[in-house]
Structure 1
Amino acid sequence: MNKDLFAQIALDQIPKILTLQDRNPHSPHYGCFDRNYWQYKIIDFPSGMSQEFVWPLALVYAHQLPNNQYYQQESIRIWVEAGILFAARSAHKDGSCDDYFPFERAGGAAAFSLLACVESYTLLGLQNEEALRFFELRADWLAHHHESGRLTNHQALIVLCLEKVSRLLKTSKWDQAKAERLNRVFEWQNPEGWFQEYEGCDPGYHTLTISCLARIYELNPTDQLQTALKKAVALAAEFVHPDGSYGGEYTSRNTYNFFPHGFELVGKWWPEALNINDRILAGLANGLGSCYADDHIVGHHTWNYLLAWQDYVPARPPQKPRPQGRFWLPEARVLIDRRGDTELYLALNKGGVFKFFRQGQLVASDTHLSLQVKAGGKVKNAVGHLVGDYPSTLQEDQITVQGALGWAKQKQMTPLNLMILRVVMLTVGRFFPNLIRSLLQKMLITGKNSTDFQFKRNFSWHGEHWVVTDELQSPSWQNVLSMGMGGDQTSIYVVMSRTFQVGQLQPWQDLTQHVRSLGAGESFKLERKL
């Protein structure tokens, strides 16, 4: 398998990252990577997360990658240091930073950017007292900050940050905080192997948590950490699709994330982990990776791919055949069914959203029924893919899930909403940022408001194929404007979701004519053979 593919995909992002940075030494924003702030001037504060982009630059400066025109270029080194200093100078007095709104004090943005700055500083052998003071200040803040929501990847990331800064500054003052955070990671790992991400299991963010924990293990190996990693890696192996793609809308956070570095590190002492990256590399070679080249998230995968290239293990074990049978996660409520030349990835916690493969190729990606409904003078979207507690039955050749469609979360910012948020954050909100964050999470991410539309989705196995039958009942069809079914619909706000992947080229299925023919009391029915 060609490890250079990791490097090439990452290198392709470097011109974009450099375009995002203000590289003018005489600019008051010198070193800032938030182009919307310093160039377009369409926001009134810089996103602290953007300063994470120093790390990909430091890695391409330091490593002689194939076709790497940035290697040992002094300008790159200078721009990395400028990025670190902008992170320091744009931070709040307590060391925190904002991401989406002023005085947010975002834990994720603070941790990602701190890790990137510390790693870059160390890799390039920089000497800067201002940067060192900033690292300590931000680490102090992270050690005591507790954000709303259960995001295990953030907890693992903060432990890694504190460990790296501790070693750089030769201090042990965060030892207790590191231990507490790591224990929280262990507590939030489900016995099935997955790590909690808001409302359940997201295999994409799961690989980021593995990446952080694998680095922590290299620095401080323990039996407990090794056990947690082996369970997590074994789970991740089940979610690699037969074509080498990964993740999708059947996961709790709808991401196509895949962070390969952790599997190379674990593979040093548990070679089975390397099979995962070998399958992913095959998918990347066929163009099946997801695109993360937008202004806000381009950095995450870039540095992780570069690290995977750097720590690639040359001796690879042979690929094992895919196991036949069923892999059922009753607590995550996710089912993987492999029989014959078919593989079904099914989310019962999302109403039966699924991906289906035959002979190693994607046949169908299904994010359930979606209706546009006129309600209360507005057009609203009723969907079947929100996380919920749906009654289901699971038999060998038949699977049924049913429940109510939910109203999609489609809240958008308006000038008035933005003005209100700014006023709140510039007054009382700046003292209670976690409360504001929690309210926004409930509004945009978690929870479900049910509709009167009742669905039933049935999967039945007939010899060599699945038959999917959908039924939908409604007291009235009068206010339904349109109905359809697509392969990539999501309805919650997750920054790393809604990226493009070629499997999304599957056409939208318009079912509106079926609905218009229904009378009062009649049910919609659709049967499909996969």
Structure 2
Amino acid sequence: MNIYKQVLKQNLHKLLNLYNTDKFSTTYGYADREFWGWKTKDFANATLQGGVHSLAIALKLDLFQNKEESIVLEMIDSAIMAIDKIKDKNGSVIEAYPRENSFCVTALVAFDVLWAIRYLENILDNETKQRYLKVIKPLIEFITNNGEEHAIISNHLATGVAAITLWNEMSGDDSPRDKELLQIIYDNQSDEGWYKEYEGADPGYQTLCTYYLSCAYEITKDHKLLESLKRSANFLSHFIHPDGTIGGLYGSRNTEVFYPAGIITLSGEIKEFAMMAKYLEPKEQHLLPQNIDIGNYIPLLNAYAVAALKYDDVKENIEKTKIYPFYMKTEIKDFKQTGIHLNSNENYFAILNYKKGGTLKVFNLNNCKLDIEDGGLFGTLNDSQKFSTQQFDEKIVFKDNVIQANFYKINESLPNPLNFIILRVLSLTIFRSVYLGNLFKKFIVNMLMTGKNRIDGSVKREFEFLEDKIIIKEEIAQPKNCKEIKHIGKSKSIHMASSGYFISQNFENKNTKLVEFKNV
């Protein structure tokens, strides 16, 4: 049994226990226990309904005993039909607050249910299939008539592409919306190969984007999409770490989660993905579905489920790959558009994002372990306001291995009762308008993620890549009223719920042996 199938099997009882199986309950089939069970929320997170995708694959892979199959089919039915009660009148579903009108989650739920139907096509009768398609049709109409306006988030757009592509095939519709969304992704794909996630490249989330695009490609076999994925694969292949992980503070969203589905699926057609599948194979180094929070549980589990289904078909390609990760070479590579500089020699593999103020991740190649992950300089003003250099600045250039980084305030806003009262009032009023709701999302994204609240002061940072270590010379012009300023290590300055997870690499070394900081 391949590792992905093992992970899926280990999670089946946890997945089944999300759903309300009480047929007399008005929330029969709901998956958000915080809503239907604990009753600590006033809305149901629809993302969790997408667990039917993994359940359908588990049935296809015969991971349930015969006596369980009919029960699982009944639970899938109840979960899909519950969407009809969860969705808003305009066809959207929500993740975070009432009347969210979420393009992303609406696309995701449609995607997961449609693929579940596809995997169960030999089991479902036509009447049941049509009943399910009727539930999903309003969701498809919503993502057809509405977009995601607050940022370019390629993995969200890719979910819509995959959902509508499969909808067209199953329903007989010929909506061009999937091609429109795909064009937005193409228009924002860098010449360097990466798909845009807010302000730049994020290798962790790019593996998720690859998953959804691979599902669309499975249906269309579109040559242009394949070429786009090949460019993406070439970029991603540089970010395999010596310990078999991927991602970190050098990414635009700081994520370190590996979503294997697309990489496994395309390993038979794209050589870089075959290599990545080999060197990123889960061996307890990754954050697995059973260890992640409930908000990200379903997308990650579904990615493992798809990988479980596809792995045996491409196993030979993966095992026989003859190309190697970038860290095994003695080479320097600079991705100027996203600001990521790679330096690999016999002793270390360094990943520097100079457009994020100089975030740095270094692996010791003698033991293949993380030596240091440094987020740059962090400080506090006398009024307790926090600040850091870690903010994306497209104007920063890496000339002669020197950068001039600015200081930016950190907005660490947390919810409070008043916030929630205001949010619910908005949900009852202006969020009835999708347009006004999108303006609110733009405001939140700007406040917590992409907004640049620069303060006085700066730091000149010079990176000297020697054969056996890296010396970072820093000439700091402190902000006025600065109380303290120092290196914290692995700290992040923007809101990102999908980052900051516990993975073993972060606790292997207490003191760096390869990086030396010097004040000048």
- What is the TM-score of this pair, normalised by structure 1? 0.88
What's the secondary structure of 2:518's corresponding residue? strand
- State the match for 1:521 in structure 2: none
The 10-residue stretch of structure 1 (6-15 or 269-278) with the greater mean CA deviation from structure 2? 6-15
Distance 1:526 1:323, change over 3 A: closer
C-alpha distance in 2, partners of 1:465/1:128?
Answer: 61
The 10-residue stretch of structure 1 (88-97 or 386-395) with the greater mean CA deviation from structure 2? 386-395
C-alpha distance in 2, partners of 1:464/1:35?
Answer: 52
CA deviation after TM superposition for structure 1 residue 389, in Å: 3.7
- State the match for 2:81 in structure 1: 85
- Is the 2:245–2:285 Cα contact (8 Å) retained in structure 1? no
- State the match for 1:446 in structure 2: 450
In the TM superposition, 1:463-482 aligns within 5 A as 463-476=467-480, 480=483
Alignment of 1:367 with 2:358, yes or no, is no
- State the match for 1:527 in structure 2: 518
- State the match for 1:315 in structure 2: 316
- Deviation beyond 4 Å, 4+ runs, structure 1: 68-72, 506-509
Match 1:347 to one of 347, 350, 353: 353
- State the match for 1:336 in structure 2: 342
- Is the 1:33–1:50 Cα contact (8 Å) retained in structure 2? yes
- Is the 1:81–1:121 Cα contact (8 Å) retained in structure 2? no
CA shift digits 1:301-355 (9 cap, x unpaired):
1111121121111213234343321121111111111122311011111111011
- State the match for 2:137 in structure 1: 136
C-alpha distance in 2, partners of 1:184/1:196?
Answer: 10
Opposite residue 370 of structure 1, the aligned amino acid is F
Distance 1:340 1:526, change over 3 A: closer
C-alpha distance in 2, partners of 1:4/1:200?
Answer: 34
- State the match for 1:516 in structure 2: none
The 10-residue stretch of structure 1 (203-212 or 237-246) with the greater mean CA deviation from structure 2? 203-212
The 10-residue stretch of structure 1 (183-192 or 163-172) with the greater mean CA deviation from structure 2? 163-172
- Is the 1:486–1:507 Cα contact (8 Å) retained in structure 2? no
C-alpha distance in 2, partners of 1:437/1:507?
Answer: 39
- State the match for 1:380 in structure 2: 385
- Is the 1:63–1:71 Cα contact (8 Å) retained in structure 2? no
In the TM superposition, 1:246-395 aligns within 5 A as 246-281=246-281, 284-289=282-287, 293-312=292-311, 313-316=314-317, 317-321=320-324, 322-359=328-365, 360-375=368-383, 379-389=384-394, 391-395=396-400
Distance 1:156 1:314, change over 3 A: same
Match 1:435 to one of 439, 446, 449: 439
What's the secondary structure of 1:245's corresponding residue? coil
* Count of residues in Structure 1 that have an aligned counterpart in Structure 2: 497
CA deviation after TM superposition for structure 1 residue 471, in Å: 3.8
C-alpha distance in 1, partners of 2:509/2:364?
Answer: 18
Opposite residue 387 of structure 2, the aligned amino acid is A
C-alpha distance in 1, partners of 2:271/2:517?
Answer: 46
Distance 1:268 1:71, change over 3 A: farther
C-alpha distance in 2, partners of 1:486/1:13?
Answer: 36
C-alpha distance in 1, partners of 2:195/2:415?
Answer: 31
Opposite residue 304 of structure 2, the aligned amino acid is Y
- What is the TM-score of this pair, normalised by structure 2? 0.90
CA deviation after TM superposition for structure 1 residue 128, in Å: 5.1
- Is the 2:410–2:493 Cα contact (8 Å) retained in structure 1? yes
Alignment of 1:102 with 2:98, yes or no, is yes
CA deviation after TM superposition for structure 1 residue 526, in Å: 4.2
Structure with the larger helix share: 2
What's the secondary structure of 1:73's corresponding residue? helix
Opposite residue 54 of structure 1, the aligned amino acid is V
Opposite residue 341 of structure 1, the aligned amino acid is N
CA deviation after TM superposition for structure 1 residue 171, in Å: 2.2
Opposite residue 45 of structure 1, the aligned amino acid is F
Alignment of 1:50 with 2:48, yes or no, is yes
- Is the 2:57–2:309 Cα contact (8 Å) retained in structure 1? no
C-alpha distance in 2, partners of 1:355/1:71?
Answer: 50
C-alpha distance in 2, partners of 1:109/1:270?
Answer: 29
- State the match for 1:400 in structure 2: 402
In the TM superposition, 1:506-521 aligns within 5 A as none
CA deviation after TM superposition for structure 1 residue 233, in Å: 0.7
Opposite residue 152 of structure 1, the aligned amino acid is S
What's the secondary structure of 1:304's corresponding residue? helix
- Is the 2:408–2:453 Cα contact (8 Å) retained in structure 1? yes
What's the secondary structure of 2:316's corresponding residue? coil
- Is the 2:354–2:398 Cα contact (8 Å) retained in structure 1? no
- State the match for 1:33 in structure 2: 31
- Percent identical pairs in the alignment equals 23
User: Structure 2: where are the runs of 5+ without partners?
Assistant: none
Alignment of 1:455 with 2:455, yes or no, is no
Opposite residue 527 of structure 1, the aligned amino acid is K
C-alpha distance in 1, partners of 2:93/2:82?
Answer: 11
C-alpha distance in 2, partners of 1:209/1:31?
Answer: 28
The 10-residue stretch of structure 1 (208-217 or 40-49) with the greater mean CA deviation from structure 2? 208-217
C-alpha distance in 1, partners of 2:479/2:226?
Answer: 54
What's the secondary structure of 1:458's corresponding residue? strand
C-alpha distance in 1, partners of 2:34/2:53?
Answer: 20
CA deviation after TM superposition for structure 1 residue 476, in Å: 4.7
C-alpha distance in 2, partners of 1:508/1:134?
Answer: 53
C-alpha distance in 2, partners of 1:187/1:258?
Answer: 25
CA shift digits 1:172-199 (9 cap, x unpaired):
2x1x212212222211111110011111
